[in-house]
Structure 1
């Protein structure tokens, strides 16, 4: 049964349902695109998940393109390693492909691994890559604290690490970091929920406490809805995975069939919750994610989905900035400790501005 639901979801052939939040609904709020200062995304993660950052909620103008200098000036072929928490997540697939294209365009090599959300496997894979005489390593940890042994190995080997999307617990291991303003990504969808459900109600939160990016998103979401009449009836770890989220949501919706909203820490989690809600015949619930993936945007554009919004980010911008940082390090240039990339709300009101056939 679950396999059929997943297949149906991934082919976008699910039965749509109503998106009202009871009788008390307000018009959706949307962030108008505007130019933002040179990428403004990971500032919240740099500040930690405890405090709210002063981040922009608007998207960078689609008419403005940022130029990234990814030139290899060393005069020799370079070899880099790449590790992310889940190589099957479309967000990371996009980052991986973009990095690979940029690096190979220089005649350099990117060694790619996928630990499948297993930190022990990630540590082992990093150790194996380090044995291949890497010049640099792109790091996205499964577990911000649990990855420490691999960071120690890289430090001992003298291999510089550029973090992306998710921070490690001790940022001193990294020469630099680039990623989304994850706190703001959760905050903007929380604000959208408050606007659409001003009377509040019971909600479900599907997070992932070992993933710092999801922790920050969840904190932003919870801060945004605080004091607005919402009651969290369940909060569980969906591990950022569609199938995991679907199974959890199936059980939770049986226990709490009248929830007005579900927050997922990323878009795969939201899509898993959507599959469960559709299978259960739920017609009065708003589901939010974070990513801005093509699948989520297609749901928003359909006009008949329970998906209500997503805190959008740009994996292409993150990949390009990470590669630029790495080449600056290779070329002996100075780099900043953090390069943030903006996040913003996409909902049914503005999804047409971003399209559904790719990432923004």
Structure 2
């Protein structure tokens, strides 16, 4: 196993992809003791059967992570499959699927959930059954049941960088701000919290904060409500790219061409191509395809008894009109593929 030092915030997406071609991942950081499952003597990754379980199939972002998992699994001769409900709001559906996968007796589960507390009892059952459990797309250091690894970007750090970018972009002048949260949970708290921490004490004033439900429709409805109630809003930050895409649609319907719109994720269609088209100002690109590759590599190392435990931080970068085209010109690190050649 080849481990590099942390600090992989690279300049552009192609650099992130090039770094992964060398098959590294950053050194793990310890989880809280109560959240770290013992690294048992697993039977090895050869011919392993691994379930990737995102919270929903409605979001391309999670499919992008899955495509990274598939690519890395194919290199290693590992069998993987994806199982998830269609809607990210279907927590009960995901829990039922998780229970089914545990019963099947897979070798490992790569899990992302919108409700870690609902998942915790089933995660404990999986770990007790000798199944390796890796939480992906998170940086939660104290998952409410012991897990073998956590893989993902620092959510609060990523959106803090975006808040700093917004302050620099506006020159620190007074701005009226609206916030589109995700559905209540760790991910929303961290992403919104990072942005709010960055603008604290500045001339930015938050006048509305609504749940955008993690999707385009929810972001559109919430943004429409807040813009009609507060027509003086000049900037909207959303907890993911789908919500900010919805906000862009609301802004267009209201004839608001003056808004600054900030997202989070680095989704190809809802984020990167919206920036290229001039509909969205900037986003935090969390490189989901590369995240999936790293998650599978770590899962294999757990099964091969080579992983010490802990959280591995995956890279992020701010994307705006100045670097988005270069990223879109390298579709090998993106999923889905861009809608056209750039």
TM-score, normalised on structure 1?
0.78
- 1:346 equivalent to 2:333? Answer no
Deviation, 1:205, is 0.5
| Equivalent-residue separation in structure 2 for 1:331 and 1:344 (angstroms) | 32
Q: How do residues 107-256 of structure 1 correspond to structure 2 at under 5 angstroms?
A: 107-115=77-85, 116-117=87-88, 118-167=90-139, 170=143, 173-197=146-170, 198-208=172-182, 210-256=184-230
Per-residue CA deviation, residues 7-66 of structure 1 (Å, 9 max, x unaligned), is xxxxxxxxxxxxxxxxxxxxxxxxxxxxxx64547xxxxxxxxxxxxxx58558718423
Q: CA separation of 1:68/1:214 partners in 2, compared to 1, >3 Å: closer, same or farther? A: farther
Tell whether the 8 Å contact from 2:138 to 2:155 is kept in structure 1 after alignment.
no
**2:19 matched residue in structure 1:** 65
Structure 2's unaligned 5+ residue stretches are: 26-41, 335-342
Aligned with 1:329 (options 299, 302, 305):
302
Q: Which moved more, 1:138-147 or 1:258-267?
A: 138-147
Tell whether the 8 Å contact from 2:298 to 2:307 is kept in structure 1 after alignment.
no
Q: How large is the RMSD of aligned CA atoms in angstroms?
A: 2.6
**1:279 matched residue in structure 2:** 253
Q: CA separation of 1:249/1:153 partners in 2, compared to 1, >3 Å: closer, same or farther? A: same
Deviation, 1:294, is 2.2
Tell whether the 8 Å contact from 1:240 to 1:268 is kept in structure 2 after alignment.
yes
Q: CA separation of 1:223/1:356 partners in 2, compared to 1, >3 Å: closer, same or farther? A: farther
Deviation, 1:289, is 0.3
**1:300 matched residue in structure 2:** 275
Tell whether the 8 Å contact from 2:45 to 2:301 is kept in structure 1 after alignment.
no
Aligned length: 307
| Equivalent-residue separation in structure 2 for 1:339 and 1:80 (angstroms) | 19
Q: CA separation of 1:104/1:59 partners in 2, compared to 1, >3 Å: closer, same or farther? A: closer
Q: CA separation of 1:75/1:232 partners in 2, compared to 1, >3 Å: closer, same or farther? A: closer
| Equivalent-residue separation in structure 1 for 2:127 and 2:309 (angstroms) | 19
Aligned with 2:233 (options 259, 266, 276):
259
| Equivalent-residue separation in structure 2 for 1:294 and 1:60 (angstroms) | 12
TM-score, normalised on structure 2?
0.81
Q: CA separation of 1:227/1:78 partners in 2, compared to 1, >3 Å: closer, same or farther? A: same
Tell whether the 8 Å contact from 2:139 to 2:155 is kept in structure 1 after alignment.
no
Q: Which moved more, 1:96-105 or 1:167-176?
A: 167-176
Tell me, what secondary structure is at the counterpart of 1:147? helix
Q: CA separation of 1:353/1:105 partners in 2, compared to 1, >3 Å: closer, same or farther? A: closer
Tell me, what secondary structure is at the counterpart of 1:335? coil
Q: Which moved more, 1:293-302 or 1:269-278?
A: 293-302
| Equivalent-residue separation in structure 1 for 2:329 and 2:215 (angstroms) | 21
Tell me, what secondary structure is at the counterpart of 2:117? coil
| Equivalent-residue separation in structure 1 for 2:13 and 2:63 (angstroms) | 22
Deviation, 1:108, is 3.1
